[in-house]
Structure 1
Amino acid sequence: MTITYEWRGDFDNAAVNALHAEAFSHVQGNIDWQTRVQRHSLGWVCARKDGRLIGFVNVAWDGGAHAFVLDTMVAQDVRKTGVGTELVTAAAQGARAADCEWLHVDFEEHLRPFYFDACGFRPTEAGLLALR
């Protein structure tokens, strides 16, 4: 299985919407991902297997030292094969190349082993304020 990873790769909105619905277990939406990432992101990483989008991660930023991993998505049939780890590694490389100092992530508790053990993040003090 040959999987390719591309920083700021081309993608189709429908493919990302389908992958997001699969990754986060919800009904498929109609989000304009291309406009969203072009407007708000430092970059993103696309993972493809035989031309099919099987992974995606968005990297938002503050325009300076801080980048943020958002929406890490991996297709169900390739989970637990290292795709997610490679997506985050490529995201970190892209943020480092843009001269960011920090890459942040927040996640649900069940993803702790993935982000801390597989991806190398470390725990920090942080806060969260629910707005809705």
Structure 2
Amino acid sequence: MEIKVRFPVDDEELSTLHALAFESEVEVQPWASRLERHALTWVGAFSNDLLVGFVQVCWDGGAHAFVLDTAVHPSYGRQGIGKELVRVAAAEAAAAGCEWLHVDYEPHLADFYLKACGFSPTDAGLLKLR
């Protein structure tokens, strides 16, 4: 397994991984341009040049960074790839001067983020805009 930071993103490849990881239809998104414009960093896991894991970190330009889109190919799950992606992403955010790394997650991912990745639970709110 090879971990790459800020790797050149192929929109179709990342859209396919995202669809597989989240059990949805493939809808090609403009990942590369969005990441360049909005992300502090992104991290990919590769197996023989195949993208099998991904996470991005967005930020406020200051103390706060945010984990988004953590995804691991279903065939590569439960091997520690997601944990390593988040670990590298956290190190990148710290190196950029961030003091806090936030993550929102669905209840079934609590053990992953809280136990495996070391996040602390917090109260948060969510407002649906559309």
TM bin, normalised by shorter chain, reads: over 0.9
4+ runs of 1 displaced by more than 4 Å? Answer: none
For the 8 Å contact 1:19–1:54, the answer to whether it is kept is: yes
The one-letter amino acid of 1:32's match is P
Counterparts of 1:16-27 in structure 2 under 5 Å? 16-27=14-25
Give unmatched runs, 5+ long, in structure 2: none
User: What's the CA shift for 1:11?
Assistant: 2.4
The one-letter amino acid of 1:114's match is F
Question: 2 CA distance for matches of 1:83 and 1:94?
Answer: 17
Length-normalised TM-score, structure 1: 0.96
Match of 1:14 in 2: 12
The one-letter amino acid of 1:34's match is A
Question: 2 CA distance for matches of 1:86 and 1:6?
Answer: 11
Length-normalised TM-score, structure 2: 0.97
Q: CA RMSD in A?
A: 0.7
Match of 1:118 in 2: 116
Counterparts of 1:30-45 in structure 2 under 5 Å? 30-45=28-43
Identity level (%): 52
Question: 2 CA distance for matches of 1:82 and 1:33?
Answer: 24
Counterparts of 1:88-103 in structure 2 under 5 Å? 88-103=86-101
Give unmatched runs, 5+ long, in structure 1: none
